[in-house]
Amino acid sequence: MSLDNPQRLEDLLNYRLSRLLALSSAPGIRLFEGGYGVSRREWSLVGLIAENGKMSPSKLAQIAHLERAHVSKAITELVAKGLLVRKTAPNDARRAQIDLTEQGLQLYREIFPQIAALNQSVVNVLSPDQLRIFDAALLALTDSAEKLVRSVPVKVKASRHLGESRRSTKYP
């Protein structure tokens, strides 16, 4: 097994998961971008709100595991498309709640079964026992990754508000 002792890029867990994600999500991306005019990120945010109810943009960014700025931009686009509504608190215009419009809920109800069927076509190669083991392994790996994120401090972070990029100036 190459995962326990990676010697090449193809042996790395994240590389293999990224490849699986890219391949398995391509048909879905074509579906919601081409058929419905929403990006993968927009679709994910619509789905999270459909499943969790109205919430603040910050909460949405937290559960989506995305930077607040990216979520804010997507919210603006989804509001313009008529899929989300942003309601500010009457006593504090800085506080907002995001919710689906009827059109946004309808989008979720139309797309989700199609995405679930695509998902099913990928996992159908696994037996029920393999699927249970894989699900347990994914939970364990996710838990391990969350612990790693909390335990490893960020030593260098770009000051993007000052115009810096994520890239180091070490390598051009």
Strands 84-89 and 92-100: antiparallel
Over pLDDT 70: what percentage of the chain? Answer: 89
Write out pLDDT tens, residues 2-42: 888 999 999 999 999 999 999 999 999 999 999 999 999 99
Q: Look at residue 26 in the predicted model and tell me its pLDDT.
A: 94
Give the other-Cβ count within 10 Å of 12's Cβ.
Answer: 14
Two structure tokens written together for 167: 């890239």
Two structure tokens written together for 36: 């419905």
Which fold, 9-125? Answer: Arc Repressor Mutant, subunit A (1.10.10)
Q: Look at residue 92 in the predicted model and tell me its pLDDT.
A: 77
Burial class (CB in 10 A: 0-12, 13-18, 19+), 83: buried
Q: Look at residue 91 in the predicted model and tell me its pLDDT.
A: 81
Write out pLDDT tens, residues 143-157: 999 999 889 877 666
* Spans of all domains in the chain: 9-125
- pTM of the entire structure? 0.80
Phi-psi region of 37 (alpha: psi -120 to 50; beta: other; left: phi over 0): left
List the one residue out of 16, 18, 40 whose CA is nearest residue 28: 40
